[in-house]
Structure 1
């Protein structure tokens, strides 16, 4: 799920659709959907009505609720994607542990042969709100952060999870991000100091953490397959 700059909740599902729901109206619209060729599994939004959808064997760029470009026939399996909120770049993480960087040019994605390496198969990824950093989570229990302005040079690696990292989310302050894993733990990391972290052990005791979202710089929300939503107040 993601909320775009038009206050629409953008969701993708196993019913092979991307749906757009007004957050302000809080009303479900049966017509605001885009049917995909194959099942979508991850999405990301940016300004200008852009949505990047990562599907099984495909990457699709949507603009204003319409498909405008499709990458298929890929030589890797895409697992997660992130489009820079400032525009210009779409990053797609693969099961091969590689993150490919595509240039967003108008309504197309151009492969310029640039990529960076995660530590293992990519599970989730996100740009910081200001577009300065790209964080990539992987199956090898690591989160890797790259600096965008420095040609995606490695900023830091973040170790701590005891099992696969499945989800991450950036704080509005762009200095912290949270990660959740199969180990039922949530960590809140400081970008400039990998050793400075807040640990929430057993965030959800019955099941792994499935989703993270920030309300503000000191309030984090976590979800899990244990059928609960929890809100945490953070003190750094």
Structure 2
């Protein structure tokens, strides 16, 4: 049932953002016990966040947790186009709530953190070197790898229930290998929904939400995902 699938996308994406943004908060916010744990901790944390969200969502639906993935599977013909917008809205709602929960969990640490760029970085991605074209390409490449790999995993006769764990490793690999330039959003809901939360929450010392950059982690992943779906369909399977 579509209702069950939408609940799965909502709760799965909520857990994804809660745990994913949570590892960034733990690493970056003042006086956190995980302060300065480093990039390896962040990539591992995001990988595990995807695993938890996928397992939780997978009992109700396909566990896309990502508008780019949803669009890619619609292009491939595995999802009705009529389901795309409801899926994306559920994912965005889940990501928004997940971001609010991170703020509540680290409320006192947000108060102790005075750097506005650090605070924004908890919620959304920012490029290490701002170049919209190259940042767009990086996000497209990362999402291409994500979607193409996920589609090919299905052809490898994996044991039942193993796929979310394998995808978790894939997320870690993408982050370690090509996550440096942009922080590897590779998921519009992961960036847009928390960025919206950042813009409306009364967060201590927050600054701009950097909407000038926000289109990159939205459209870069979508383009990369569509290209990955087309590449997969071109395989002689």
Normalising by structure 2, we get a TM-score of 0.21
Higher RCO by CA contacts (8 Å cutoff, separation 6 or greater)? 2
Structure with the bigger percentage of helix? 2
Greater strand percent: which structure? 1
